[in-house]
Structure 1
């Protein structure tokens, strides 16, 4: 990750607002993770309690819940990295090229670490 090479903290964006958005989203994701613990639990294989198709449906539901949790944890990781950049005064600068990230891009996803050019033209 590039270091803050003579850059000062961005004054042209609402850092406090972005930090608040990031913290709110992190709290929301943590609550969702807590509420979905049961859906990710191992599926009981007791055939006296449910039939084969019901068990397959339950296993599919569990797999989907686990993938959702994996994505949720990845987003929390991106949020934590963005919060760290705020603390270091690097927030709003591309981690690849050190150029400012467009405010419009940050509003779309406040945890985004790269400018549009370094992201290869994708959002």
Structure 2
């Protein structure tokens, strides 16, 4: 009951066993967990994930040419060639990470479609709203990650 009273003291309104926080447009259940039954919350996360997906795809398109191997016929000095190869490796690693992020975003979008978004894929417990706000593509709770 301490959590409920703390919510009420802060001026949050109780709506059918769900608290609405004025500063946020999210509904929090009694246990302080985001209720994923609210379709508006899911739309917010879906929009964030779709924006992330567009940004990732744009980055991958922009860096595709830079990730190509340094051709030996380029007239570069030995040090310049090594710098170009090092730059290429950095870009390849950044692209690899972006591709992994893209898979996570697509997976989160699929979980929204399957009504499984917001639950840890390992333990099944709800993922904290703070974690989802920071990284909506999160598929695990803090304990399982």
Bin for the TM-score computed over the shorter chain: 0.7 to 0.9
Q: 1:93 aligns with which of 119, 127, 132?
A: 119
Runs of 4 or more consecutive aligned structure 1 residues displaced over 3 Å after TM superposition: none
Cα deviation, residue 39, structure 1: 1.0
Instruction: Spell out, residue by residue over 1:46-89, the C-alpha distance to the aligned partner (whole angstroms, 9 max, x if none).
Output: 26x11111100000000000000000000000001101100000
Structure (1/2) with the larger strand percentage: 2
Query: Gapped runs of 5+ residues in structure 2?
Result: 1-34
Q: Secondary structure at the match of 1:96?
A: coil
Give 1 or 2 for the bigger CA radius of gyration: 2
CA RMSD in angstroms comes to 1.5
The answer for the alignment partner of 1:46 in structure 2 is: 73
Unaligned runs of 5+ in 1: 1-8
Count of aligned residue pairs for this structure pair: 110
After TM superposition, the score normalised by the length of structure 1 is 0.85
Counterpart residue number, 2:26: none
